[in-house]
A and B are shown apart, each in its own frame.
Chain A
Amino acid sequence: DAGITQSPRHKVTETGTPVTLRCHQTENHRYMYWYRQDPGHGLRLIHYSYGVKDTDKGEVSDGYSVSRSKTEDFLLTLESATSSQTSVYFCAIGTDLYEQYFGPGTRLTVT
């Protein structure tokens, strides 16, 4: 398995609180991604990064921000969590040829 970890794996938080999810890789891949997965919607891209300090928005970026200060870490922040952000969040790392390797996921519940 690709060296990619996510933390925390599970989190329950209250509406309005900030939340940060961390993705860490040991593969030195250039590209990193955050997806969310919800029933009936499949996987949807939130944000992605193509290098340190280089990030861009995906399909469902509203309410989320990201940062990448070093190659191995990609952080996803929910500034003020809402119930609609209850989801399973997957981080992925990728190569130029779209071979993406996914982490184990973080299950986030916003109450």
Chain B
Amino acid sequence: DAKTTQPPSMDCAEGRAANLPCNHSTISGNEYVYWYRQIHSQGPQYIIHGLKNNETNEMASLIITEDRKSSTLILPHATLRDTAVYYCIVRVAGGGGADGLTFGKGTHLIIQP
């Protein structure tokens, strides 16, 4: 699996867009980028994933650079409830998906009031 690099922590003002970067310079062509987050004391929560096109859902947007070596998760209007540790994970998708996810240290996003 490709290795990812994320800043250990970030601050963002409530109501502003939170942009969380992730570097994955060794990503392979068949590897997807996944984002999860974990709010204190809760189980991780799936946010979004993508291969090479930008993706958007009700929670966030995922922007993947053209060379796929980095990506940015965007929370468009951050609220205090978005304070969490955000994990960027790169992994091959498909039938071999049985063997779990590898969570790194992630980025601790703190939304300031």
CB B58 to nearest CB in A, in angstroms, measures 14
User: For A59, what are the chain B residues with a Cβ–Cβ distance below 8 Å?
Assistant: 100
Check A27 for interface membership: any CB of B closer than 8 A.
Answer: no
User: For A35, what are the chain B residues with a Cβ–Cβ distance below 8 Å?
Assistant: 100
When chains A and B are docked, how far (Å) is the Cα of A53 from the Cα of B34? 28
Task: Report the interface size for chain B: residues with CB under 8 A from the other chain.
Answer: 25
Q: List residues of B (77-100) whose CB comes within 8 Å of A's CBs.
A: 89, 91, 93-95, 97-100
Interchain CB contact under 8 A, A101 and B105: no
User: For B95, what are the chain A residues with a Cβ–Cβ distance below 8 Å?
Assistant: 96
Q: A31-70: contact bitstring with B at CB < 8 Å (1 yes, 0 no)?
A: 1010100000011010011100000101100000000000
Interchain CB contact under 8 A, B91 and A98: yes
Task: Please tell me the size bucket of the interface on A.
Answer: 20 to 34
User: For B89, what are the chain A residues with a Cβ–Cβ distance below 8 Å?
Assistant: 98
Check B21 for interface membership: any CB of A closer than 8 A.
Answer: no
When chains A and B are docked, how far (Å) is the Cα of A56 from the Cα of B103? 19
Interchain CB contact under 8 A, A42 and B104: yes
Out of B45, B94, B97, B102, which one reaches A94, CB within 8 Å?
Answer: B97
19 A-B pairs within 8 Å (CB atoms) are namely A43-B101, A43-B103, A48-B100, A58-B100, A59-B100, A92-B43, A94-B97, A94-B98, A95-B97, A96-B93, A97-B49, A98-B32, A98-B34, A98-B91, A98-B97, A98-B101, A99-B34, A99-B46, A103-B43
- Which residues in B have some Cβ–Cβ distance to A below 8 Å? 32, 34, 36, 41-46, 49, 89, 91, 93-95, 97-106
